[in-house]
Amino acid sequence: MDLFETLQALNACFGPSGQEGEVAAAIRALAAPYADEISTDVMGNLIVHKKGPGPKVLLAAHMDSLGLMVTHIEDSGLLRVGKLGGIEPRLLPGTPVRFQNGAVGAVFEDEGLEDKKREVGHLYVDIGAKDAAEARAQVQVGDAAIWDAPTRRGGGAVFGPYLDDRICCAVLLKALSQVQNSPNDLYFVFTVQEEVGLRGAQTAAFAVDPDYAVVADVTDADDLPGGEHAGSCKCGGGAAIKVMDSSVICHPQVVARLRALAEEGNIPFQMDIMTDGGTDGGAIHKTRAGVCTGGVGVPCRYIHSPQEAAWLSDAEAAARLLAAFAQADLPPV
């Protein structure tokens, strides 16, 4: 399974928080040859089950992306919008967008904001409509827009929107394809609505009731000029083994086992500490009576911007490490 081709296929899907169906359908098709069972729950989480006799192991990555939702159509035909997830308004002016029905436009901001704090309420989307009636013929209040940009390679990196977290969905699929005979009962879970509060992970983990969980997500790369050192990882440094972020302190047994597997398998790795931000692990580790939870990430630059960047070598290392954990002999919890 080629990681870049898989990422391109997933990024071509429309999948903002709450509307992940296209992404789930693409993943279902890619996972089917390696799965014993595939199901979708009420929330929309895609659960890929590979049966085994041992402990239940949940491996998760989220399918949803950031977006904008139409809240009001101006008489001029311009669209006022609200945010889906952790939008940074200052990064969005000039960003091309598309709607699920194929309508396209671009994001701009109100004039005269030099001395004001940028808020999502200062943004609007221009779809080329001359008035409100023409705009309503294309979109409706409640329609969502996503960033409309290609996924490209440059040097060792991949550039594009929504590497958070489509690159880790691709990583999880590659890990699934690498698993042979595992002693564990494996659940590869592709979650919904992470960007708006870890919602899908909460319900999926409750249903699966795993003994162990490892969450695959991007992590802030601390390798840019003027960085605030809010993270510990660098692009090109290998898979990121999470120790903690603002949502979870990972279980020390899982951290230690992931590190040992990386060393034994000669898999490039680095230790991941983030002082801000979180992942689905924040919801999973508190499920029921608690879950032994860890994380394997891909360092990413410009997270939550319309153009993110990550190294494919780090993604390959993350896939190898997740596959190794999935096949490891794990003690009963």
Residue 8: closest CA among 159, 218, 175, 151: 151
- d(Cα 100, Cα 92) in Å, to the nearest integer? 19
Among the listed residues 194, 195, 308, 316, the single catalytic one is: 194
Residue listed under structure tokens 């035909």: 77
Q: Which two tokens stand for residue 52?
A: 């085994």
Virtual torsion, Cα 114, 161, 214, 236, nearest 10 deg: -90
Report whether 169 contacts 8 (CB < 8 A). Answer: no
Q: Inter-axis angle of helices 312-326 and 3-11, to 10 degrees?
A: 100
Q: Quick check: is 194 catalytic?
A: yes
Question: HEC string of 50-110?
Answer: ECCCCCEEEEEEECCECEEEEEEECCCCCEEEEEECCCCHHHCCCCEEEECCCCEEEEEEC
Virtual torsion, Cα 312, 314, 319, 320, nearest 10 deg: 120
> How far apart, in Å, are the Cα atoms of 283 and each of 108, 199, 207, 239?
35, 8, 13, 22
Residue 11, Cα to own-chain centre: how many angstroms?
11
Residues labelled as active-site residues? 194
